Amino acid sequence: MNKLVIAGGAALAIAAGIYLTQGGTRAQETAAAPTEGGPIVQVTLPATLSDDAQIGKRAFDAVCAACHGQNATGKIGFGPPLVHMIYEPNHHGDMSFFMAVEQGVRAHHWPFGNMPPQQGLTRADVASIVTYVRELQRANGIQ
């Protein structure tokens, strides 16, 4: 009986390990001790960005990076990474980003609290930001 319980526990642990390591993305949670304001994930940058994504990066850096981190890596204690499976296009479509900027977002995936609406961004700015985030996601296996 004990051998069966041990074998079952070992199989469960192996399955859990495989599940947790096979997230389908190269963006990985950082292994170092968490530091307030530090990145939540490591991001592989694309070799090049499209013209629209370069414009989006500038807008992202000016408005979004304060909470979502440089290159959308998230910031411990501030905001979630956008280069994460949660924000893949089939779960959070492009319109979700527009709505988040315009209306804010009630906290539901992460423990950072509610995101307030963002001021000073046009719809064209947000479209460029979405292009930038989607190019980062694709470079990290999030399609």
pLDDT value of residue 19: 39
pTM: 0.76
pLDDT one-digit tens code per residue, 43-82: 999 999 999 999 999 999 999 999 999 999 999 999 999 9
The CATH homologous superfamily for domain 27-139 is Cytochrome c-like domain (1.10.760.10)
Helix axes 51-59, 123-139, angle to 10 degrees: 110
> Domains of the chain: which residue ranges?
27-139
Q: Spell out a b/e string for 110-127, using b for 16 or more CB atoms within 10 Å of the CB, else e.
A: eebeebeebeebeeebbb
pLDDT value of residue 141: 97
Distance CA 3, CA 99 (A): 54
pLDDT value of residue 31: 52
Average pLDDT across the chain, whole number: 84
Task: Evaluate if residue 95 carries a pLDDT over 80.
Answer: yes
